[in-house]
Homo-oligomer: A and B are copies of this chain.
């Protein structure tokens, strides 16, 4: 029987690629997606479609209520998504988001008896988010092994970040080689209801640049095109 893995699947380019990688490594994949009032809900529809394409064992959609917490352009609809690059940590940063996502994944992994969690963080094109850096992932993994019953009983929990050192172009090349259809994925921070990208936000810029770097035709549907 294959080993189980929990894969954090947002429906974006990176998380879809890690699902393809986890499957290629022989894991039985359990996809976990979050509905947290993000502006780009089209991402979630994409996540469902991708979970089906990759025949995951189960997809779990977890609602997270950030409304009382606030503080980010992605979840607080009174803050505009910027359309010009900024210095430092951008306003699209959601406080403790990856910490929270990994913690839900950890709970589910424990119940499933899985010892492997995949997350599509990337430290190259990381947009300045602190919780995408290797030092954070390594500290999270140490904590996770002390947090859980499985850890206490001597099973090691691994946090896999196969994209952490790759450029966007390399990620796309790897995904295409594994059969990912990037037309299904949605990366834009303010995609419209049918999943068309603005082409202007940080996430769109990085993605567009990635296809150019990869030498692959960009299949993204842009509002402006």
Which residues of A are interface residues toward B (Cβ below 8 A)?
60-63, 65-66, 68-71, 89, 93-100, 103-104, 106-108, 110-111, 130-131, 133, 135-136, 139-140, 142-144, 146-149, 151-152
Contacts and interface: CB of A to CB of B under 8 A. Distances in A.
Given A96-B103, A97-B107, A103-B103, 10 more contacts: A60-B68, A60-B69, A61-B68, A96-B106, A96-B107, A98-B147, A99-B144, A130-B149, A130-B151, A143-B143
Contacts of A94: 107
For the residues of A in contact with B, the DSSP-based class is: helix
Given A60-B68, A60-B69, A70-B111, A147 B96 contact: yes
Contact of A104 (B89, B93, B100, B107): B100
B108 A69 contact: yes
Interface centre among A94, A99, A149 (most CB of B within 10 A): A99
